[in-house]
Amino acid sequence: MAASRASSRTAGKAYKVTNWKEYNESLVRRGDVTLWLEEDVIIGWEHENAEKKVGRPFTYSEEAVRCLLSLREVFGLTYRQTEGFGRSLVRLMDAKIAIPDFTSLQKRAAKLEIPLTAKPKRGPVDIVVDSTGLKVYGDGEWKARKHGVSKRRTWRKLHIAIDPKTGEIVAEESTDNDKHDADLVEPLIEQVERPIERFYGDGAYDQRKVYEALECEAAQPIIPPRKNAKVWRHGNSSDCRLPRDQALRQIRRTSRKAWKIDVGYHSRSLVETSMHRLKAAFGDKLRSRKPPNQKAECRLRCAILNRFTQLGTPQFVWS
């Protein structure tokens, strides 16, 4: 199956979308304000304050704050603009609700729990992981090339795991730019509620701690060993053979390209598509300055992208 998919992509065939009308409508609906400000959100706008807390009770529910922050991300607004945008919406809708001020939005965003809202599925799942950089502050690309990189230029890394069958993001973590991808494997797989059958990652995940974490989950690693890789467990050992060593031996017998086709490694390119969609929708820069708000902003973008995916995705054939 994997070999046939790979051959179809290299035969010079054209990519043709078969559900363009439905997909086009889903793209239009992404800008529909009523998609985020639904009736059930308005009904639950005020906080119930069922649990006791130190200080003044909350006025607005978490759903209300998530709604306004979603509008902020979708339309690229600042906190102050979000407050004004919300006021105009409720005035046009004649809704009898109040809009939190920009300071409250910023404070609530730092502590907000944001579900990724992926559709629940049954049975085991495959996941594909990768990371990308999001600019926090600093010089633009042209100035960096012309005058060099300044000390104030920095990035955050966004690590995501997607379900290759649906394209939805099932796990997300954001870190400083000095964190290695392999360090985030365990936090990512802990977020996946269903059993993991196969784990796809690039050569950066070819580390012992990654294989140990996947062994605890009984997940099959689809990770290419590095070009200078050596066998970790000799073939004469009485212990069971390691999946990584099996992959390395197969690459030596055939080729790296043949191994990738045989195990379906090219499914890993789907996470690159998700990264592109994320940056195309929201840009490659975070507007928040404080780390807790940056983490919330990253997670909210992933949740919104899942909502976009559920609205509709292109179905295609090779013709």
Q: What is the pLDDT of residue 2?
A: 47
Weakest-pLDDT range from 36-40, 143-147, 156-160, 224-228 = 143-147
Pairwise CA distance, residues 129 & 158, whole Å: 11
Please determine, for residue 216, whether its predicted confidence score (pLDDT) is greater than 60. yes
Q: What is the pLDDT of residue 135?
A: 87
Q: What is the pLDDT of residue 12?
A: 59
Average pLDDT over residues 214-240: 86
Q: Residue 3, SS3?
A: helix
Q: Are strands 154-162 and 169-176 parallel, antiparallel or unpaired?
A: antiparallel
**Residue 17 is encoded by which pair of tokens?**
């979308």
Where are the chain's structural domains?
A: 30-113, 125-276
| 73 contacts 301 by C-beta, under 8 angstroms | yes
The larger pLDDT score, comparing residue 212 to residue 153, is at: 212
Please determine, for residue 316, whether its predicted confidence score (pLDDT) is greater than 90. no
pLDDT category at 33 given cuts 50, 70, 90 is confident
Q: Are strands 220-222 and 196-200 parallel, antiparallel or unpaired?
A: parallel
Average pLDDT over residues 71-100: 93
Q: What is the pLDDT of residue 140?
A: 58
| CA pseudo-torsion sign 53, 55, 60, 63 | negative
Q: What is the pLDDT of residue 138?
A: 61
pTM (two decimals): 0.87
Weakest-pLDDT range from 20-29, 30-39, 101-110 = 30-39
| CA pseudo-torsion sign 139, 141, 146, 151 | positive
**Residue 158 is encoded by which pair of tokens?**
């966004």
| Residue pLDDT, tens place only, 91-114 | 998 888 999 999 999 999 999 999
End-to-end CA distance of the chain: 18
Q: Residue 127, SS3?
A: strand
Q: What is the pLDDT of residue 40?
A: 87
| Residue pLDDT, tens place only, 143-194 | 656 666 565 567 899 999 999 999 999 999 999 888 999 999 999 999 998 9
* Region 125-276: CATH code: 3.30.420
Distances (CA, A) of 97 to 39, 89, 257, 293: 12, 10, 59, 25
